[in-house]
A and B are shown apart, each in its own frame.
Chain A
């Protein structure tokens, strides 16, 4: 088979995107981004001791065991959100300008590589990094939570015996306690963390197609992140309220903001999971579709800008 013919093979395009994604992933890994996992491990382990003056374990907590498990989840998911959003934005903001600066972009685009393939590959590389990182953090959190859950359950059993609780009370507490351990809803919350970081990576990709520096891309992306958390409130305030005095300009502005910026309040489900609530499947599907929608929209917008860009 000639070299020219291999380029016409089926799925050649998907393979090309996979090559760019795999390379972006390797590039980021070799930049030692996984060092932050060590910091996460420290936070996850340290969360055992927060708010405990004598560094006591859960066994001394007695009926505060549920709060203790919530604390582990809260700290772990908080750290996951922080790391994944920072990593998603900074990694994406770094990749494109670096390729332009080093002229490696010329050598790639001088090959038969469509620009959308290049962008999609870079974004998928970052998403792969986020996925692997979150999977590792999730694993660590789950192990820690499971270990502490066992201890809390044992303490509760002992406490129930000592205080003479009836079977129904014991069972009710056990169910409440299990809901605070590693559950499918918790995995759904980790997925929501991933989705939010993926949207931020797609936004950073869009900004980096017209930005001239990594710093600008990073700052603007974080700005969008914060707007994304408040835009739903602003939209409701201006569009859904019947307040007199809301000008039409303000309404248009609110509509424009809600069309351009992502609505991150959809992802507040994470807080509910930390409190031990379950996540319905339909809720998870909605989150997945919303994330997919935002990622596709921002990637296509990136392509529009990047396709006419001159180097």
Chain B
């Protein structure tokens, strides 16, 4: 989508967002979000990170029109967030969603699909496709009340995608989910990116954000303190990493001596790279899962 000057319209445009909440009559209002600006291009995966109570969820709610900005503007693909039609191209997964316990997985997706105007064969196909995408075909006829935390998050992600939105907003998508479920959700986010869907997620699980996001913003006490391309933000500019396989101790000594002889570079350390505890956990428990 492009505007009149052939400049691509950002998927998300938040300009100078300020949100104050009234506390009591006598006290000053609480400023939850303070002059935050975010621009997310179509197809990007953007991660908003920050500690609890830093204003992440309020920013997302303002973008969805669930709270009205005290000042500033929010838009989705150029449409004002306070207007209903801005929500035609967005899917939202709130933090710790519960959904209707009396509905089965298939009924839940059908309900959200019908809300978006889907009917008949188109609805049926879409629901089937989404259940396959989130790997819940085996639980399609089970009531949501019996779903595990990870399954709830996945059905939540499926409902967010029901009308094929171009933007998906995920609020703490892996909160309270075990490492296996967390990995499944992360893989789904990567699948969405491959399909060209813009993803705006907020989390305080930094490792996960690092794995999936192209751009990140760090929010603290309502203010955006740092934002930019992830690789630019985390790169240590004056260091270089070389990873070798099956290198003998003699070869490593030789390289180290060469570096020291050069005089212009400094040898910092060498050693075996370590896997993460999460990868170890997944490797050891993958047999049980299958």
Q: Contact residues of A with B, CB < 8 Å?
A: 1, 3-4, 6-9, 12, 15-16, 19-20, 23, 26-27, 30-31, 102-104, 106-114, 308, 310-311
Give A308 to B66 CA distance when docked, in angstroms.
9
Give A112 to B156 CA distance when docked, in angstroms.
17
Give A8 to B85 CA distance when docked, in angstroms.
11
**New A-B pairs, 17, CB < 8 Å, besides A103-B95, A108-B112, A310-B61:** A3-B116, A3-B117, A3-B118, A3-B122, A4-B163, A15-B117, A19-B115, A23-B100, A102-B100, A107-B93, A107-B94, A107-B112, A107-B159, A107-B160, A109-B64, A112-B84, A311-B67
CB distance from B138 to the nearest CB of A (A): 23
Q: Is the CB of A111 within 8 A of B87?
A: yes
Could you show 20 A-B contacts with beta carbons less than 8 Å apart? A1-B122, A3-B117, A6-B116, A6-B119, A7-B88, A15-B117, A16-B117, A103-B94, A104-B97, A104-B98, A106-B94, A107-B92, A107-B112, A107-B156, A107-B159, A109-B66, A109-B87, A110-B90, A111-B116, A310-B66
Q: Is the CB of A107 within 8 A of B116?
A: no
Task: Decide: A112 near B85, CB < 8 A? Known: A16-B115, A310-B68, A311-B67.
Answer: yes
For B112, list chain A residues within 8 Å (CB). Answer: 107-108, 111
Chain B contact residue count (CB 8 A cutoff): 39
Q: Is the CB of B115 within 8 A of A27?
A: no
Give A30 to B101 CA distance when docked, in angstroms.
10
Q: Is the CB of B85 within 8 A of A110?
A: no
For A311, list chain B residues within 8 Å (CB). Answer: 61, 66-67
Is B96 interfacial (CB 8 A cutoff)?
A: yes
Q: Is the CB of A4 within 8 A of B88?
A: yes
Is B281 interfacial (CB 8 A cutoff)?
A: no
Q: Which residue of A lies closest to B98 (CB)?
A: A102
Chain B, residues 57-71, CB within 8 Å of chain A (1/0): the string is 000010011111000
Is B102 interfacial (CB 8 A cutoff)?
A: yes
For B102, list chain A residues within 8 Å (CB). Answer: 26-27, 30-31
For A308, list chain B residues within 8 Å (CB). Answer: 68
Give A73 to B67 CA distance when docked, in angstroms.
51
Q: Is the CB of A106 within 8 A of B66?
A: yes
For B90, list chain A residues within 8 Å (CB). Answer: 110
Q: Contact residues of B with A, CB < 8 Å?
A: 61, 64-68, 84-85, 87-88, 90-100, 102-103, 111-112, 114-119, 122, 126, 156, 159-160, 163-164, 169
Task: Decide: A106 near B115, CB < 8 A? Known: A6-B122, A111-B87.
Answer: no
Number of A-B contacts (CB under 8 A): 103
For B92, list chain A residues within 8 Å (CB). Answer: 106-107, 110
Closest 4 CB pairs of A and B: A110-B92, A7-B117, A102-B98, A30-B102
Q: Which residue of A lies closest to B91 (CB)?
A: A110
Q: Which residue of A lies closest to B169 (CB)?
A: A110
For A7, list chain B residues within 8 Å (CB). Answer: 88, 116-117, 163
Give A111 to B100 CA distance when docked, in angstroms.
16
Give A31 to B112 CA distance when docked, in angstroms.
21
For B115, list chain A residues within 8 Å (CB). Answer: 16, 19-20, 108, 111, 113
Give A6 to B264 CA distance when docked, in angstroms.
65
For A112, list chain B residues within 8 Å (CB). Answer: 84-85, 87-88, 116
Q: Is the CB of B66 within 8 A of A19?
A: no
Q: Is the CB of B100 within 8 A of A104?
A: yes
CB distance from B20 to the nearest CB of A (A): 11
Give A11 to B116 CA distance when docked, in angstroms.
13
Q: Is the CB of A111 within 8 A of B122?
A: no
Q: Which residue of A lies closest to B64 (CB)?
A: A110
For B84, list chain A residues within 8 Å (CB). Answer: 112-114
Q: Is the CB of B99 within 8 A of A107?
A: yes
Count chain B CB atoms within 10 A of each CB in A3, A9, A26, A310 and give the residue with the most: A3
Q: Is the CB of A12 within 8 A of B159?
A: no
Task: Decide: A3 near B85, CB < 8 A? Known: A113-B115, A310-B68, A311-B67.
Answer: no
Count chain B CB atoms within 10 A of each CB in A102, A106, A109 and give the residue with the most: A106
Give A107 to B98 CA distance when docked, in angstroms.
10
